[in-house]
Structure 1
């Protein structure tokens, strides 16, 4: 059978607190009940002792005529007694064990033959099929011995009445306690209800942080977590809006160029101009295709929190493959493209396809902005014991003010735009280094870019 657990936090708190309170309350009631029984029993024993002392005092005072003592004790049994008052039965013996006096219903008990004076002695006996509580007490001079007794059922009745009077307020207080628990839980959950109402009342585009100035300490981590989430969502949405706007702008440029060149080709009657316009159409289509590919690649990389299937990779082999794949482009522009690697293997755990994309983007950037007869070098090694990949070129470099922003999406430095050589489609999309940086993050590496002292640019992937 499935357990039914309330789906409401308030119901869970009420159920848990109510059950815990009820258990404690019942335990307290049981303990109080038995404690009251015990105290009532002690009270009855005290009454027996008091009756025995009074009887001894009366016997010592009326030693000449014990028949008067009997008459005096009989007068104590009247109808004006208190409901809790007990009427003990008694026996009085002399020093030799001779029974001197007894009440009418006193149980048949024996003279306690002990020499000298001894403390009062309690005992439980049965008389006429009923249990009795008996106290035996001897006078200080040892001449008299007194026994007083109560029927146990009368003692239990008094004890039960006392314990019941103690337990009744506890039982009657339970409904009041339940109400107090309900209103206390409801009041305690009011800040959460207010927070929930605040979040529910917000419009979808309202990502401002929550302001709960008097939130209880227990809800502050929740409020802080929600505010961090809202901040991240706001930043993500801002990035997406900016990315969408930039992508639309970047796509509009090559498409507009393709349209213009197509119109020129249609209007041109000169075969040379016609061919030139068609080549420009193809170049614009290639640029738009690369831009779309880069956008799709970024869209696939952004949601990833980690690599889906990392494996051990040899960076030198991966670098050599990328150099060979781009060598025809370098040769066509008379650029020297080479790779260097240390003799010992340099391995990392990662995704071979993603790292190949990163290396190709770095190499394409270097090829695009390096002039003819310039050099591009792809190197692999260890620095401070950590794998490192670098790409160096003899191009124009970039303005120092542009270095921190080169990995931003769609950002191109002013000098790079001027120096684009057209080897790989002319001006870049502004997404290549952003893709490299995202791939580096997924591999636990960082992208570093700096100008070389002798001229040119160096891009590095440094594992940490």
Structure 2
């Protein structure tokens, strides 16, 4: 397992789903088209229905005028033959027969006051308002007969037909819109599902697993995307392998030459005893470089890309507490030199693992704590095992590091600024590789106000 330092961020990234964006865009465009279509249909319907209603008003007025003109002196007789059966209830038309300026006949629900009091045309349409309602009126008159017929229809009545059509047509159109929306959503989901599958496969890739993605897709776009990703993965894999191979080869060659150089310095030291202290400093530097090269070789050996590393690890029943105590004993001289002490909170733990790798892990963590802590510091070691597994924590009360450095501690050759302590910067990289090899989860914490470092190692109880 890799290091998982805490991450602090000031902004929350908002993820926008391409699937829902497409669904919303298509359905929104379709709904807009639906609304515009309904508006156009209603506008055309209103215009055509108005023409039809006007034609009916005109025909009714001509019929009534013809009936009235055939009878003489309507005002004196007080009746009009055939008019009692002409009520025009179907279209809610109301008529008035006007003679000598007075309404002498009107429909049963009509008014005794003319709809239009001053008509200036022999025939034509008028839009009037009466009792808060708007009316459409057709007037037909004859000056010779002093006869006028007015037929009116309420605009509200005309609109009733339009709203009835809106309810009928709009309800059906809305149902069609909902069905089409579901169909479009299903189609977009099916079309984009391969993209989600590709994203999941890419997410599973990491430096130790850069295998190419399967490419069974028939569409040109998806095939091109997967092909481009596979090309990138291949390039990354080749670059990483070249880097790791170079590191291993270079480290091996350097260690050989450093060993030869150390032997020559030893010979010179024997031949020139008066310069022994100078040669001792040189050998110390050579020893540091040799240690760094050995660490590079170890990292190359632990790299999962080099094959099944489990075959190169010797597993055994391991007394972790005894190994921890032995490691502290090896570093006791360094602890005494800085007047540091260990605070123990441990219990015996036995597991099936590699003693060699565990020793390297513990040695690097404790050695770092001793190097980077001031004098008279304390190192707290806690080791416990329960039903959930094994937990080991190693904490110091040194200076710690800031959040930016915390995220980079496991990088090779990285060293925090201002420590004024010599080192190769590979110790925590080795710890990281060992944790991956042994399936150990590790979490690094830096104390409040950068006071101290704490390493927490945890794993499920291994089975032999």
TM-score class normalised by the smaller sequence: 0.3 to 0.5
Larger Rg: 1
Give the TM-score normalised by the residue count of structure 2. 0.44
Greater relative CO (CA pairs within 8 A, separation 6+):
2
